[in-house]
Amino acid sequence: MEKLLLKELLERHLKKLILKLRWDIYMEFACHVTGKTLPADEMLRFCVSPAGELTPDIGNKLPGAHIWVSARKPCVAALQNGPDWRVPEDLPCQVARLLGARARNILGLARAAGKIVLGFAKVDAALSGGRAAMLVSAYDGARDGRAKLARKAQAAGVPIMEFFSAEELGLAMGRQDVIHSAVIEAHWAAKIDAATRRWQVYIGTTPDVQTEWTEVRKR
């Protein structure tokens, strides 16, 4: 009897913990600019700093008064000064930098956890052995090497990401330059994909079109 009660208590505690950690799955908020209601993972949270300035809260953790805005650059650019806050002129660029930094940070964490392999040979082996959950290649790497790995990834049904430069991947993973890498755990691949897509959507690029995205980020 005591074991059953203990089991029930643990299950309830676990459910509450999951809800607390993943509240973004269940909560929706109205965009301050458009009025449209969206899930929290499609929104950006902004808090009012002690100095009265609207501040991006990418991690949704800052205390105090806040508003929610659709996670798209035009919506952030449309924000105006409110009765209790000022909007910095470079706010859209601040958000772009923070979203990009968050995506790169998750790449770095995955690498530190041993869930990313680097280099053509190791990535090729991961794809051949069915261990790769995502292929992450530098968009400015040599075309031949990228194409060979991409064909193998496509044949295996492995998603491909070519959104970062070799320098950016290197900085994220503590190396000088990284051209070929593969995520070898689905959990980390999903986290990297979600963070990077959120950045892409915000700055106005898509996963399917690798055009002048560097210029887009500078705007």
The pLDDT tens digits of the residues spanning 102-155 come to 999 999 999 999 999 999 999 999 999 999 999 999 999 999 999 999 999 999
Query: Under CATH, to which class is 2-88 assigned?
Result: alpha beta
44-64: pLDDT as tens digits: 999 999 889 999 999 888 888
Dist. CA 201–CA 205, nearest whole Å: 6
pLDDT at site 27 = 81
Nearest to 136 by CA among 104, 113, 114, 112: 104
Would you give the DSSP letter of residue 192? H
Q: For the chain, which residues make up each domain, given as ranges?
A: 2-88, 97-218
Q: Quick one: 121 exposed, middle or buried, by C-beta within 10 A (0-12, 13-18, 19+)?
A: exposed
Provide the CATH topology of domain 97-218: 60s Ribosomal Protein L30; Chain: A; (3.30.1330)
Mean pLDDT score, 72-81: 92
* Three-class secondary structure of residue 63 per DSSP: coil
Cα dihedral value 90, 37, 206, 95, nearest 10: 20
Indicate if the pLDDT at residue 219 is higher than 90: no
Instruction: Please determine whether the domains at 2-88 and 97-218 fall in the same fold group of CATH.
Output: no
pLDDT at site 83 = 82
Q: Residue 212: in which H helix or E strand, if any?
A: none
pTM given for the model: 0.76
